[in-house]
Structure 1
Amino acid sequence: MPMPTMTLSISCPDQRGLVAKLAQFVYRYNGNIVHADHHTDAVAGIFLSRLEWELEGFEIPRDQIATTFINYAQREKIFTSWQGVRWQLRASDIPYRLAIWVSRQDHCLWDLLLRQRAGDLFAEIPLIISNHEHLRPIAEQFGIDFHYIPVTPETKPLAEAKQLQLLKDYRIDLVVLAKYMQVLSPEFIEAFPQVINIHHSFLPAFAGANPYHRAYERGVKIIGATAHYATVDLDEGPIIEQAVVPVSHRDTVADLIRKGKDLERVVLARAVRLHLQNRILVYGNRTAVFA
Structure 2
Amino acid sequence: MSDIKPVSQTHVITASCPSQPGTVDVVTRFLFEQGFYINEIHSFDDTDQDRFFIRIEFRADTATNFNRDDFCQQFGERASEFEMKWELASSPYKSKVVIMVSKHDHCLNDLLYRYRTGDLNIEIPAIISNHPDLEDLAKWHDIPYYHLPITKETKPEQEAKVFQIIQDSEADLVVLARYMQVLSSDMCKKLSGKAINIHHSLLPGFKGARPYYQAYDRGIKLVGATAHYVSDDLDEGPIISQGVETVDHSYYPQDLAAKGRDIECLTLARAVRCHIEHRIFLHGKKSVVFAK
* TM-score, length-scaled by structure 2: 0.91
Q: How far, CA to CA, are the matches of 1:208 and 1:17 in structure 2?
A: 49
| Superimposed CA distance per residue, residues 158-214 of structure 1 (whole angstroms, 9 cap, x where no aligned partner) | 111111111111111000110000111221122122001110001122245432222
Q: How far, CA to CA, are the matches of 2:110 and 2:24 in structure 1?
A: 38
Q: How far, CA to CA, are the matches of 1:65 and 1:166 in structure 2?
A: 34
In the alignment, is residue 78 of structure 1 matched against residue 90 of structure 2? no
Aligned to 1:82: none
Aligned to 2:3: none
Aligned to 1:38: 43
Q: Is the 8 A contact 1:10 1:87 kept in 2?
A: yes
In the alignment, is residue 146 of structure 1 matched against residue 145 of structure 2? yes
1:237 to partner: Cα distance? 1.1
1:54 to partner: Cα distance? 0.7
Q: Is the 8 A contact 1:30 1:58 kept in 2?
A: no
| SS of alignment partner, residue 251 of structure 2 | coil
- Per the alignment, do residues 45 and 116 of structure 1 end up closer, same or farther by CA in structure 2, a change over 3 Å counting? same
| SS of alignment partner, residue 125 of structure 2 | strand
1:11 to partner: Cα distance? 2.2
- Per the alignment, do residues 4 and 179 of structure 1 end up closer, same or farther by CA in structure 2, a change over 3 Å counting? same
Instruction: Provide the identity percentage.
Output: 44
- Per the alignment, do residues 7 and 197 of structure 1 end up closer, same or farther by CA in structure 2, a change over 3 Å counting? same
In the alignment, is residue 118 of structure 1 matched against residue 101 of structure 2? no
- Comparing 63-72 with 249-258, greater Cα deviation is found at 63-72
Aligned to 1:231: 231
Coordinate RMSD, CA, aligned: 1.8
| SS of alignment partner, residue 134 of structure 1 | coil
Structure 2, unpaired ranges of 5+: 1-5
Q: How far, CA to CA, are the matches of 2:109 and 2:241 in structure 1?
A: 19
| SS of alignment partner, residue 126 of structure 1 | coil
Q: Is the 8 A contact 2:42 2:55 kept in 1?
A: yes
- Per the alignment, do residues 128 and 27 of structure 1 end up closer, same or farther by CA in structure 2, a change over 3 Å counting? same
- Per the alignment, do residues 13 and 176 of structure 1 end up closer, same or farther by CA in structure 2, a change over 3 Å counting? same
Aligned to 1:14: 19
Q: Is the 8 A contact 2:18 2:82 kept in 1?
A: no
Q: How many equivalent pairs are there?
A: 284
Q: How far, CA to CA, are the matches of 2:40 and 2:239 in structure 1?
A: 23
1:235 to partner: Cα distance? 0.9
| 2:28 corresponds to which of 23, 29, 34 | 23
1:229 to partner: Cα distance? 0.9
Q: Is the 8 A contact 1:224 1:260 kept in 2?
A: yes
Q: How far, CA to CA, are the matches of 1:274 and 1:65 in structure 2?
A: 25
In the alignment, is residue 284 of structure 1 matched against residue 289 of structure 2? no
| 1:5 corresponds to which of 4, 10, 17 | 10
Q: How far, CA to CA, are the matches of 2:64 and 2:31 in structure 1?
A: 8
| 2:56 corresponds to which of 51, 56, 63 | 51
Q: How far, CA to CA, are the matches of 1:95 and 1:144 in structure 2?
A: 16
Q: How far, CA to CA, are the matches of 1:43 and 1:208 in structure 2?
A: 35
Q: How far, CA to CA, are the matches of 1:253 and 1:26 in structure 2?
A: 54
Q: How far, CA to CA, are the matches of 1:66 and 1:208 in structure 2?
A: 48
Q: Is the 8 A contact 1:12 1:86 kept in 2?
A: yes
1:65 to partner: Cα distance? 3.2
Matched letter for residue 97 of structure 2:
L
Q: Is the 8 A contact 1:11 1:283 kept in 2?
A: no
Q: How far, CA to CA, are the matches of 1:120 and 1:288 in structure 2?
A: 23
1:128 to partner: Cα distance? 0.3
In the alignment, is residue 133 of structure 1 matched against residue 139 of structure 2? no
Structure 1, unpaired ranges of 5+: 80-84
